[in-house]
Amino acid sequence: MTTTEHLADTVEHAAATPDTAQPFRELGLKDDEYARIREILGRRPTDAELAMYSVMWSEHCSYKSSKVHLKYFGETTTDEMREHMLAGIGENAGVVDIGDGWAVTFKVESHNHPSYVEPYQGAATGVGGIVRDILAMGARPLAVMDPLRFGPADAPDTRRVLPGIVAGVGGYGNCLGLPNIGGEVVFDATYAGNPLVNALCVGAMRVEDLHLAHASGTGNKIILFGARTGLDGIGGVSVLASETFSGDESAGKRKKLPSVQVGDPFTEKVLIECCLELFQSGIVVGIQDLGGAGLSCATAELASAGDGGMHVDLDLVPLRAEGMTPAEVLSSESQERMCAVVEPSNVDAFMEVCAKWDVIATVIGEVTDGERLVIDWHGQTVVDVPPRTVAHEGPVYHRPIERPADQDALIANTPDALARPSTSDELRETILKMIASPNLCSRGWVTEQYDRYVRGNTVLAQPNDTGVLRIDEETGRGIALATDCNGRYCKLDPYVGAKLALAEAYRNVAVSGAAPLAVTNCLNFGSPEDPAVMWQFEQAVRGLADGCVELGLPVTGGNVSFYNQTGSTAILPTPVVGVLGVIDDVRRRLPSGIGAEAGETLLLLGETRDEFGGSEWAHVVHGHLGGQPPAVDLAREKLLGEVLAAGSRDGMLSAAHDLSEGGLAQALVESCLHGETGARVVLPSGADPFVMLFSESAGRVLVAVPRSEELRFTDMCTVRGLPWTKIGVVDPDAAALDIQDVASIGLDELRTAWSGTLPALFD
Amino acid sequence: MARVVVDVMPKQEILDPQGQAVANALPRLGFDGVTSVRQGKRFELEVDDSVDDAALAKIAETLLANTVIEDWTVRRVES
């Protein structure tokens, strides 16, 4: 250690050696970005400063390509939409008021690239990271859900990646004791080599307990607590460590550092309880989680959000590895760490709580009255920067945008000419083929590895359309959550596709009987340096924001993940949309399975049109992607939501299932299988049975209505102008789905086809 | 026939929650003085003479170890 002491790249040393070459390009900084850092500092950055700026100005942390587009969310949000919002974009997670004094916070983040490199740990730490985001708001994390996307189900690499990711999601979440209440599993060739692991967490707190992290109050202490800081998860900084100018003698000998972190859910579980007690006892000014960019990010963000400066002594950071350089300590992404701002008089109490939970806690610095973030190491200053330039005033790019040259050809290639099944035998075969296809088959193989009911408040989880949680055990008030995105629709028309993703998530929440309240998103796209990708991104953001205005829902937060591509081929544009709804009493939630009461009527709400562009049928049967996605009518979705909420509140409905990929056939099969009950279906006379069964027209829901309520419910639909069609009855005596003049298929045969696919591929 | 031992250890810089749990438990049980514990796996393979070192290395890195987060060593021992 003595040799490193005088060789550290201090501020003084940097000022004296302006011409030293620095590996900024290897760290991902562009020439003009490096020049701007020199301009801000009035000298060259030190190694540690360079490490800080390079991670904080990365696409992942700075949103430099997306910022100009994301502004559109703020511009379009009205005060009326903000009515229930307590905290929004810019905080760790959005917070909404759900009534009865409860505030709910939720957010989704991507952990795509780490999960490809090391599926288990990548996915596990993705869950851990989003849980800490929720925790930082002062909320108790209550549940997680994970929208996942993979390459073709039968591709060899999917066999490597999928089981690891699923085990990682399950392993971490199960150890934390958090139920996994939903999510998605989608397969498409474009995700081969770039799977998507998006992790969502939802938490709740009393409204008065909301905490926003900022470092205010000169003299307040900065406390780092949780796990020790090690060399794991250091990405670009390994470049610094391997460059010869770095003072660390062992650097040259050190192996190339892995960029994947290993998580420890048991440490996180203790950290959760410790943080909640700290919040409860009112001894913290604010808490910030350490995620990507580690201590660099936490210190810069805390200082930037506060009104003063900050001084940190890096020698005080508890380390796990020997000989770490200041740059490495600052950039380490060691998991399960948090940073708190505490008034000096509360430090002892803070330490007592941490000792009780066996959590290591160390005062590493304090809030100062200057405007600089100053970091010392071995008695010398290695960082001296204006924190806002690191955290909030990074580069902003107006990337070139161009509609892809082949977009017109894609749209012109409609599915109209594809051969359609027409005989009853062909239709029967198509039903069985579709329900067994990877995107439509049972997700049981995946979701059964997750604990869905721990904590005892899960009301609905997979295989239902939405996850429903009880929040208030006295009143029964609860929330419903769904995430959705059809990347194929988005490829055909990213503007409409994003609206369709919103519409589907909205509808999924509505079918549970809940009233949608707020929106979050995780926007997964290819390279922002590709003008065609930026066009998709811009269109999707506009579609989602415009859609939220139409529905009157605020976007409370989100995450952008760029560079999701293999070689020059980008993934399907995948703006995953999460919708949170509130239900005043979870006892009236609607399941998707039919059969609660005998002789119920099956109604199809909404209209079915001949819409097969981007459909699952075109994909499964013909390997075709082209044409226009289904039309989207958000006013209709809103009406549908209101009718479902009224129907559920007044006991007029006993089950409801959203129609999406796979159309009516898929919904019927799932409703029968989820409810383990047969049904007799008569398609409207004159309608094309193929279109009725497989079209993916939006704005449709299948509902089961008790006989006694049928007239009341259909009258309500008619009065409100919602089209409905009676399509059959629930038939508990028949162990079959009988579609008149098409096919009668036994539930056993349906279940075998539907549930056999994933086990055959991954067991 | 020969006996081959493959030791698989978490990489030095990688967090080892299991080793850490053991290290934390020791003082609670009254064993002082242990400053660090790392936990790995040991495989014992009985192999034909036809299996050369290159094949053993391949076995270790494809199945026995997750080389993203683990190091491995192979040695032949007297059986």
CA distance A704 to A727: 10
Q: Which chain A residues touch B35 with a CB distance below 8 Å?
A: none
Given a cut of 60, whether residue A172 has pLDDT beyond it is yes
Q: What is the band of A14 on the pLDDT scale with cuts at 50, 70, 90? A: very high
A40-44: Cβ within 8 A, 24+ apart: A40/A385, A40/A386, A40/A389, A41/A384, A41/A385, A43/A11, A43/A14, A43/A15, A43/A18, A44/A14, A44/A17, A44/A18, A44/A20
The answer for residues whose C-beta is within 8 angstroms of residue A173's C-beta and 6 or more apart is A127, A144, A179, A180, A265, A450, A451
Min Cα separation A334/chain B (Å): 8
Mean pLDDT of the region A419-426: 96
Q: What is the band of A6 on the pLDDT scale with cuts at 50, 70, 90? A: very low
pLDDT score recorded for residue A302? 86
Given a cut of 70, whether residue A254 has pLDDT beyond it is no
Given a cut of 70, whether residue A321 has pLDDT beyond it is yes
User: A266 touching B, CB under 8 A?
Assistant: yes
| pLDDT beneath 50: ranges in chain B | none
CB contact under 8 A, B68 and A260: yes
User: A666 touching B, CB under 8 A?
Assistant: no
User: A260 touching B, CB under 8 A?
Assistant: yes
User: B18 touching A, CB under 8 A?
Assistant: no
Instruction: Write the Ramachandran bin of A268: left for phi over 0, alpha for psi from -120 to 50, otherwise beta.
Output: alpha
Q: What is the band of A244 on the pLDDT scale with cuts at 50, 70, 90? A: very low
**Could you read off the pLDDT of A28-59 as tens digits, one per residue?**
899 999 999 999 999 999 999 999 999 899 99
Given a cut of 70, whether residue A352 has pLDDT beyond it is yes
Given a cut of 60, whether residue A245 has pLDDT beyond it is no
- Do the strands A309-313 and A373-377 form a parallel or antiparallel pair, or are they unpaired? parallel
If you average pLDDT over every residue of chain A, what do you get? 92
User: A9 touching B, CB under 8 A?
Assistant: no
Q: Is A227 strand, coil or helix?
A: coil
pLDDT score recorded for residue A239? 55
pLDDT score recorded for residue A123? 96
Helix, strand, coil percentages (3-state) for chain A, rounded to 5, are 40, 20, 35
pLDDT score recorded for residue A259? 59
Strands (E) across A653-748 are located at: 655-658, 678-681, 701-705, 724-731, 736-739, 743-746
Given a cut of 60, whether residue A240 has pLDDT beyond it is no
User: A333 touching B, CB under 8 A?
Assistant: no
Task: Please calculate the CA angle A201-A204-A207 and round it to the nearest 5 degrees.
Answer: 140
DSSP A723: -
Strand partners, A566: A569
Which residue on chain B is closest to A322 by alpha carbon? B13
Nearest Cα to Cα of residue A639 among A435, A503, A737: A503
**Could you read off the pLDDT of A371-413 as tens digits, one per residue?**
899 999 999 999 999 999 998 889 999 999 999 999 999 999 9
Q: Which chain B residues touch A261 with a CB distance below 8 Å?
A: 15
Min Cα separation A238/chain B (Å): 12
Nearest Cα to Cα of residue A49 among A30, A64, A34, A31: A34
Give the tokens for residue A79. 């005060």
Q: Which of A262, A325, A334 to mutate to test the interface with B (most CBs of B within 10 A)?
A: A262
The DSSP H or E segment spanning A648 is: helix A634-649
Given a cut of 60, whether residue A241 has pLDDT beyond it is no
Q: What is the DSSP string of A41-105?
A: HTSPPPHHHHHHHHHHTSHHHH-TTTHHHHHHHHHH--TTGGGGEEE-BTBSSEEEEEETTEEEE
Min Cα separation A232/chain B (Å): 5
Mean pLDDT of the region A625-642: 97
Q: Which chain A residues touch B20 with a CB distance below 8 Å?
A: 264
pLDDT score recorded for residue A258? 52
Min Cα separation A721/chain B (Å): 58
User: B39 touching A, CB under 8 A?
Assistant: no
Mean pLDDT of the region A272-292: 91
Given a cut of 60, whether residue A257 has pLDDT beyond it is no
Q: Give percent of chain A above pLDDT 90.
A: 81
CB contact under 8 A, B68 and A230: no
The most distant pair of C-alpha atoms in chain A lies apart, rounded to whole Å, by 87
Question: What is the four-CA torsion angle of A517, A523, A524, A529, rounded to 10 degrees?
Answer: 170
Q: What is the DSSP string of A453-508?
A: STTS-EEE-TTSSSEEEE--TTT--EEEEEEE--HHHHHH-HHHHHHHHHHHHHHH
pLDDT score recorded for residue A597? 76
pLDDT score recorded for residue A469? 97
Q: What is the DSSP string of chain B?
A: -EEEEEEEEE-TTS--HHHHHHHHHHHHTT----------EEEEEEE-TT--HHHHHHHIIIII--TTTEEEEEEEE--
Q: Which of B13, B24, B63, B69 to mutate to test the interface with A (most CBs of A within 10 A)?
A: B13
Contact A110/A485 with Cβ under 8 angstroms?
Answer: no
CA distance A275 to A280: 8
CB contact under 8 A, A232 and B17: no
Overall pTM surpassing 0.90 (yes/no): yes
pLDDT score recorded for residue A188? 97
- The torsion angles phi and psi of A598, rounded to 5 degrees, stand at -70, 150
Q: What is the DSSP string of A133-184?
A: HHHHTTPEEEEEEEEEEES-TTSHHHHHHHHHHHHHHHHHHHHHT--EEEEE
pLDDT score recorded for residue A733? 87
Q: Is A229 strand, coil or helix?
A: strand
Q: What is the band of A215 on the pLDDT scale with cuts at 50, 70, 90? A: low
Smallest Cβ distance to B15: which of A232, A255, A257? A232
Nearest Cα to Cα of residue A486 among A153, A191, A186: A186
Crossing angle for the helix pair A663-675 and A424-436, to the nearest 10 degrees: 70
Q: Which of B15, B36, B39 to mutate to test the interface with A (most CBs of A within 10 A)?
A: B15
**Could you read off the pLDDT of A483-506 as tens digits, one per residue?**
999 999 999 999 999 999 999 999
Contact A442/A463 with Cβ under 8 angstroms?
Answer: yes
**Could you read off the pLDDT of A572-601 as tens digits, one per residue?**
999 999 999 999 999 999 999 998 777 899
**CATH number, domain B2-77:** 3.30.1280.10
**Could you read off the pLDDT of A62-105 as tens digits, one per residue?**
899 999 999 999 999 999 898 888 887 767 788 999 999 999 99
User: A582 touching B, CB under 8 A?
Assistant: no
Nearest Cα to Cα of residue A330 among A370, A369, A365, A371: A365
Smallest Cβ distance to A262: which of B12, B15, B21? B15
- The torsion angles phi and psi of A152, rounded to 5 degrees, stand at -50, 140
Which residue on chain A is closest to B12 by alpha carbon? A321
Q: For residue B64, which amino acid is it?
A: L
Given a cut of 60, whether residue A547 has pLDDT beyond it is yes
Mean pLDDT of the region A18-25: 91
Q: For residue A599, which amino acid is it?
A: G
Q: Give percent of chain A above pLDDT 70.
A: 95
CB contact under 8 A, A261 and B15: yes
User: A332 touching B, CB under 8 A?
Assistant: no
Catalytic positions of A, written as ranges = 60, 111
CB contact under 8 A, A264 and B20: yes
